Amino acid sequence: MGAPLLEVKDLAKYFPVKKGLRQMFQPPQYVRAVDGVSFALDRGKVLVLAGESGSGKTTVARLVLRAIDPDAGTIVFDGQDITRLSGRELRRFRSLVHMVYQDPYASLNPRMKVADIVAEPLTIHDRASTRAQRHEKVLKSLEEVRLEPAAEIAQRLPHMLSGGQRQRVAIARALVTKPALIVADEPVSMLDVSVRGEILELMQGLKQRHGISYLYITHDLSTARYVGDEIAVMNAGRIVEHGPIDKVLLDPQHAYTRALIDAIPDPDRAAH
């Protein structure tokens, strides 16, 4: 397989707790949002980072994207330590890694046409292409996520689209610079159940066609099994269980993983 695309070692991020008047003269307190997290993600694979809200999984995503700086540990991407990158090198890294957010309503600028939303990463990272070439890439990206006719969709505003269509626009925006890694933070949790399968199937197809790797963040283990190759279960800033997804979900070793699995709704049980 060769070296992993992404390797995270002993990653840590602590956030100071805000003090009230009574605590003014006490020593500072910290929340250990991420506390010694290590994992590797191979090329063309999906690693699911699972856990409840507050487990630290979204903080890990923000660290991997270099949206925030780690307090300790290293992040190696495609053989390069990106933990302390800045300037041009950081911009180049960001052209290879994109994020798909949870909320398709909040993550798209309501005043921008779809064409301009999808073109944003190209405007930042693809200065070599002409305006016409960038527009062609936007239309191709919309076609890739099955938003057709692409030329017509490109001229619409987000409010003219359904939730599922908006999330396809967000994926088209992430895809347009041909990234090696997409970080998907609960990408289907706010969509209707009927649309979730379509979006997950789309993501799987893009992975197979382009060899894209995903860091897939979720609290929902039922979607995790559909998309994931491996899973890392997080609780209180630490990874408590990690392994091939079927092995972990069918034979969980940690009590926290078992509790997450027990929380998955069972349609048969609900019917009785």
DSSP-assigned letter for residue 21: G
pLDDT at 1: 55
Pair of tokens at residue 102: 């949870």
Q: Residues 188-194: what's their mean pLDDT?
A: 87
For the chain, percent of residues with pLDDT exceeding 70: 94
Does residue 18 or residue 74 have the better pLDDT?
Answer: 74
Which fold does the domain 47-66+86-264 belong to in CATH? Rossmann fold (3.40.50)
Of 17-21, 64-68, 239-243, the least confident = 17-21
Q: Residues 245-268: what's their mean pLDDT?
A: 86
pLDDT at 137: 95
Name every residue whose Cβ is closer than 8 Å to that of residue 213 and which is 6 or more positions away in sequence.
5, 6, 41, 42, 43, 44, 45, 46, 47, 180, 181, 182, 207
Q: Residues 228-235: what's their mean pLDDT?
A: 95
Whether 57 and 51 have beta carbons less than 8 Å apart is answered as: yes
Whether 172 and 164 have beta carbons less than 8 Å apart is answered as: no
For the chain, percent of residues with pLDDT exceeding 90: 68
Task: Please provide the average confidence, as pLDDT, over all residues in the chain.
Answer: 90
Is 270's pLDDT higher than 50?
no
Q: What is the pTM of this model?
A: 0.89
Query: Which residue ranges make up each domain of the chain?
Result: 47-66+86-264
Does residue 24 or residue 63 have the better pLDDT?
Answer: 63
